[in-house]
Every structure is written in structure tokens, then in C-alpha cells.
Amino acid sequence: MRTKTYFITDAHLGSGNDSRQREQDLVMWLRSIAPEARSVMMLGDIFDFWFTYKHAVPRGFVRLLGQMATMADDGVEFHFFIGNHDMWLFDYLEQEMGVVMHSEPEEMVIDGKRFLLGHGDGMGNQDRNYNFLKHVFRSRFNQWLFAGIHPNIGFPLAHRWSCNSRRRHSLADNGYLGDDREAIYRYCSNRQLERTANGDATFDYFLFGHRHTPICRPIGNATYINVGNWIENRDYAVFDGEKCELRSFRPDTSSADSLSNS
């Protein structure tokens, strides 16, 4: 019976020498959850880079896209929250398999629990350089310019930038930094305080990615979960209608281990 909601983030498919293995593990995971999955929330950076052309599809990822299409045709609902690496995905998945696309954090009520979901880039981030780049990449004019570059030139340039960006991110990532230094955690805490102050219904769960670090921390009576990544750990989260928890997929046994709180 399909009653569970699954969350995954930061697979960065297309990067590194093990990208094919990561994709195969991701497909194996999707197959393992298909009998119980009501919906799958992809919280961004599933692809290390993607650009949706009007009349062409970038090569690769056919195993993942095929499995998603099979599950979507079978009634599983997919949501995709674009990240800072795959923000040029546009409407391809929406048109091909009915994936619901989100460009900003989204509030959802699932089985009576209130969730705030998103990728997490730029939240509470006062880095002017990053905010400028985000504005540049989301400019329709700049997207039109990139579409005019031949893929044999444009894609290597984009992958080089993506690799450098991910390397800087990994060098700056020292694991859990503490509540006061985790930008996404602070953002979620502020959102919860605003809801409380306004007398609005507060959130039960906050789920994000981007940090590549599995984190599970309380925010008052709510829970903040950073789903981690699919590069080293094969992390994901699952909500069974009552509780949401972090898990790690083990491809060798097609099973999962629960992760303890950070």
C-alpha cells in the first residue's frame, strides 16, 4: 500500500568517475521503495548540471529517467525542487512525466503534518557574490544566450564551473557547524518564530539539502532535517504518516539503516 513520502537530494549525477554507479544505486533505491511510495520529493542538485533545450535532450541518465517515468505512470507523484546546480532543468520533467517543479521553498501538508521543503541554497546567506551569481543564472536573457552555445562547448564549460563550485563547497563543509552557524537551520528557526508571532499554524518538519551533511535537529516542537547526499552516503529520508526519519540506503542488500541525530 502506497502511504510513504520519500526525500532525496544532492546526487550530483554527471560528476565524478562513479556517476554511473550512483545512478544505478539511485534506480535500485527507487525500485525498492516503489511498492510503498506515494510521493518522492527530490530536493535539488540531483544532476550536477542540466540544461533543457527546446528540441534536444542532453545525453545520459536514461536509467534514472526511465525508472521515474515508470513509477510516475504507475501513480507515484514526483516533486523536484531545483538546486543551484540543476536550476536550468525548466519544464522537461514536467512535460515528459508530470513531475511537479518548484523553484522556491514550498509549504506542504502531508497526512496532517506541515512541511517546509526546498534545496537550501542562499537561505540566510548574505554572500553578495553568491546572490549575484544566482541572479545571473536565473536571468532569462542569460539562459537564452547559453542556449545559443553549441553543447559541445557549453556543457564542458558548465561542468568545469560546477566542479569548481562543488569543490569549494566541500572544502568549506566541516560537518555540522552548530545551530547558530547553520544558515538553513537559522532560516527555518526564523520562519517558525514568524508563524508563532503571527498566530499561524507552525511547521512540524523542515527538510532541505545543499549541505551534503545529514542533520536532524529540533526547532521547538518541530524537526529540521538535512537529508545529506547521495555521493558518499546514499542518504534519504522517509515520512510514514506519523514520523519522519533519516536513513541510508545499502545497495549491496537493498535495505536501509536509520541514522542517529547529529
Cβ density class 50-63: b for 16+ within 10 Å, e for less: bbbeeeeeeeebeb
Distance CA 202, CA 41 (A): 21
Q: What sign does the CA torsion over 176, 258, 67, 103 have?
A: negative
Q: What is the mean pLDDT of the chain?
A: 86
160's grid cell = 568545469
Name the residue ranges covered by the structural domains of the chain: 4-258
Q: What is the pLDDT of residues 3-49, one digit of tens each?
A: 999 999 999 998 888 999 999 999 999 999 999 999 999 999 999 88
DSSP secondary structure, 61-79, as one string: -HHHHHHHHHHHHTT-EEE
Rg value, the chain, Cα: 18
Distance CA 32, CA 73 (A): 17
C-alpha cell at 201: 499554524
pTM of the full predicted structure? Answer: 0.86
Between CA 43 and CA 210 the distance in angstroms is 8
Q: pLDDT (tens digit, 9 = 90+) per residue, 119-171?
A: 998 876 555 666 656 666 666 766 666 666 767 676 766 666 666 565 555 54
Kindly report, residue by residue over 38-86, the tens digit of the pLDDT: 999 999 999 988 777 777 777 789 999 999 999 999 999 999 999 888 8
The CATH superfamily of 4-258 is: Metallo-dependent phosphatases (3.60.21.10)
If you write DSSP's letter for every residue of 176-199 in order, what string do you get?
A: ---GGG-HHHHHHHHHHHHHHHHT
